Amino acid sequence: MLKSLRQKIKFLFFLLLPLWLIIFLLRKRKGIHILMYHSVRARNENRFPYIVTEKHFKIQLAALEKTGSCISIEDAVGSIRKRSSGDCSFVISFDDGYADNIDTAAKHLEEKSFPFTIFITRSFTDSGMNSFLAARHFNHIKKRKDITLGAHSLLHVNHNFLSKKEIKKDFQESKTFLSEITSKDIKYYAYTGGGYTDESLNHVLDFYEAAFKDRMDGKTDTDLRRIGRINIPHGLNSEKRFLTYLLSQAYIRLRSNE
CATH of residue 237's domain is 3.20.20.370
Task: State the Cα–Cα distance between residues 91 and 230, nearest whole angstrom.
Answer: 10
Over residues 200-212, the mean pLDDT reads 98
Asked whether residue 144 carries a pLDDT value surpassing 80, the answer given is: yes
Domain count, the chain: 1
Asked whether residue 183 carries a pLDDT value surpassing 70, the answer given is: yes
Its pTM stands at 0.95
Does residue 110 belong to any structural domain of this protein?
yes
Range of the domain at 73: 2-252
Does residue 162 belong to any structural domain of this protein?
yes
Task: State the Cα–Cα distance between residues 75 and 85, nearest whole angstrom.
Answer: 10
Does residue 257 belong to any structural domain of this protein?
no
Task: State the Cα–Cα distance between residues 122 and 202, nearest whole angstrom.
Answer: 23
- Per-residue confidence band for 85, with pLDDT thresholds at 50, 70 and 90: confident
Which residues does 27 contact at the CB level (< 8 Å), separation at least 6? 67, 68, 87, 88
For residue range 27-82, list pLDDT tens digits in order: 999 899 999 999 999 988 778 889 999 999 999 999 999 999 999 999 999 999 99
Task: State the Cα–Cα distance between residues 160 and 231, nearest whole angstrom.
Answer: 21
Q: What is the mean pLDDT of the chain?
A: 94
Asked whether residue 258 carries a pLDDT value surpassing 60, the answer given is: no
Asked whether residue 3 carries a pLDDT value surpassing 80, the answer given is: no
Asked whether residue 91 carries a pLDDT value surpassing 90, the answer given is: yes
Over residues 152-170, the mean pLDDT reads 97
Does residue 258 belong to any structural domain of this protein?
no
